[in-house]
A and B are shown apart, each in its own frame.
Chain A
Amino acid sequence: MTFLLGKDMTGGYGGADILHDCTIGVEKGEIAVVVGPNGAGKSTAMKAVFGMLNLRQGHVEMDGEDITSLSPQDRVKKGMGFVPQTSNVFTSMTVQENLEMGAFIRDDDIVPTMEQVFDLFPILQEKRDQPAGELSGGQRQQVAVGRALMTRPKILMLDEPTAGVSPIVMDELFDRIIEIAKTGIAILMVEQNAKQALNIADKGYVLVQGRNRFTDTGEALLGNPDVRRAFLGG
Chain B
Amino acid sequence: MRVNRRNIGMFAVMALLITAVGVFQSWSVALAILNLCLISAIMSLGVNIQWGYAGLLNVGVMGFAALGGLAGVLVSMPPVTAAWQAGGSEVIVAVFILAITLIAGVYFYHRFRRNPLRRILVTSVIGIVGFLAFRSFLDPAVGAIEAVDAAKTGYLGGMGLPILLSWIVGGIFAAGAAWIIGKIALGLRSDYLAIATLGISEIVIAILKNEDWLTRGVKNVNGLPRPVPYEIELQQSELFRSIAADWGMSLIGLSSIVVKLCYAGLFTVVLLMVLWFSEKALRSPWGRMMRAIRDNETAAEAMGKNVTGRHLQVFVLGSAVIGLAGAMLTTLDGQFTPASYQPLRFTFLIWVMVIVGGSGNNWGAILGGFVIWFFWIEAEPLGLWLMDVITSGMDSNSWLRMHLLKSAAHMRLMTMGVILLLVLRFSPKGLIPER
Direct contact of A and B (CB under 8 A): no
